[in-house]
Structure 1
Amino acid sequence: MNWDDFDAFCQVVDHGGFTAAARALERPKSSLSASVSRLEEQLGTRLLERTTRRLRLTDAGDSLYRDISKPFSQLRELAVDALAKGTQVQGTLRIAAPYEFGAHHLASVACRVMTRYPALKVQIDVEHARVALFERHYDIVFSALEHRVAPSTVVTKRVYSLERGLFASPELMVRCPAFAGPDDLNALPLLAGGEDHDWPFTGADGSTVVVDVRNPPLRSGNAEVRLQAAMAGLGVARITASFCAPAVAQGRLVRLLPQWQCAPLRIHALLPGRRLVPAKVRVFLDGLEDEAAQQGGATAAA
């Protein structure tokens, strides 16, 4: 009896199919299929029903999975902990991040870490929608968590506090010569983020103003969509300053109310709730914090 075949079966079920499991494990799909077929032959029963659209457990497969999945999961966790005790940085680091953060803040860190540790591979999935926490077996999931609380099964560490500002096209602001403060935003179309309900501001004297985001002409969690809409003159966008810097330099956007501080975009690094943090995760987060310090980004442990 080959225990690797049992593990392959669990991995296929965990990942929802052969293709996803093969990608995560960096194994040929044919190898996983052969493992499951061999296991079915040895047990004398069908474990999975394979169709072109989905994979379904048979009654025998469901029973087997419920009996063995937890022990195999615990063995994998022990293996991860054993590797974490070492100092060798190797394997594949799987990361998911929202577009506004991932596209502009992770590439340089990944390049430096991979140059320093040639045995390490990095996979970065930049997501426009909300990232499903560890559904695809990520090592790190970066999330804004502005209106949510991370599950108790993950470890939360705040890494970045990104400066945000208000941006609009010069053409739009020509039509609004009386614009002077946050209260005047009520007379302008506001381009809202996916979960924006209000925009808080802090003045130089410490005073605060909260602007309700009412009936926005555009609502999108995709910062690139809001950026394009702002450049087209469709409204005012609240986006991270680093993301808008090229458009500002080209004269396609202007920054509004620089004397008022927007609430920053706080990005958290979410890690699976393991007892030990693998070396590949440690070195990446260390590199990210070093870059944050160099760029003036705030770092803190949650």
Structure 2
Amino acid sequence: MLLGGGGSLLGAAVAGLVWLLRRRTTDPVLETVIALVTPYAAYVLAESAHTSGVTSVVVAGVLLGRSGHRLTDANIRLQLHAVYAVVVFLLESVVFSIVGLELPTLVRELPAGTGWWPLQSTAIAAVLIAVRVLWTLPLTRAVKPSRGRLSWRVAGVVTWAGTRGVMPLAAALSIPLLTEGGDRLAGRPLVLVLTVSNVVLTLVVQGLTLAAVVNRSGLALEPEHTAREEEDARDELNRAALDHVDGLAELEAVPETAVDRVRRALTARLDRTPEAPDGTTADDAYRQLRHEVIAVQNTRLHRLYEEHRISDTTLRVLQRDLDLEQAALGRN
């Protein structure tokens, strides 16, 4: 308990320090470096203070994740998301590969009397699932407050979706190899074997059957529901932006031409009235036209580069601008 509390305090301290640094950072490369160094700093500081490094990393990540959108701009977020996707994939691949290679050796090194580890692992997985059901069940009352009843279906889906992964492995691997006296720590191989087997069991059993469980529960959202939710959220954002633009127009704080340009774009996005026989709206036609125009601009940009009329630096900058604009338009 003390180890977890100390790790939480250090994680919060690291998050606060990083928050102050990132508030003053505008360089995407430096921001990426800070983001990558943060978990290692939280882990090393916590381990140096003889507390839980894993807990420290989790607390720092949760705190920074809740406020990260206020610390960065669009360019930094685009780069961070791209870097995170690659780093997470590489780290998870390395961790599972190393553990998979070590697992046969760990099983062979298990001490006498631990031959029942498959049954122990299954029992632990069952206990974890039961505890998760009991923990999430009281929270399901908020899902449908009008009924005021506990929902076993919601608790079951949330529990079945809670597969174990890298975090339990990281916690198990953080157990020291030797005691303070220099002897090998007894029980560490068994802990690692049980952890790995639980991870594999949950990933295989729960992971491969999760879709069926969600479908049988009746809680799954149909694709049209998700699309409608996204469409409603986009409309809400556009209305908020349109209200802000109208307020600026009344104050005459912005040139009228700029206000009209933004207002027309927002109004077109909110207009769902089909303007063509095939049901195409003005916003659909606008986005399709913008995709075509960007394709023409891309062709001309590379032609300028091939004719040695622009430098490589100019090519990269303009290509990024076109890519960002096309990404903002969404799918054609």
Q: TM-score range by the shorter chain?
A: under 0.3
**Structure with more helix by fraction:** 2
For normalisation by structure 1, the TM-score amounts to: 0.23
Q: Which has the larger radius of gyration?
A: 2
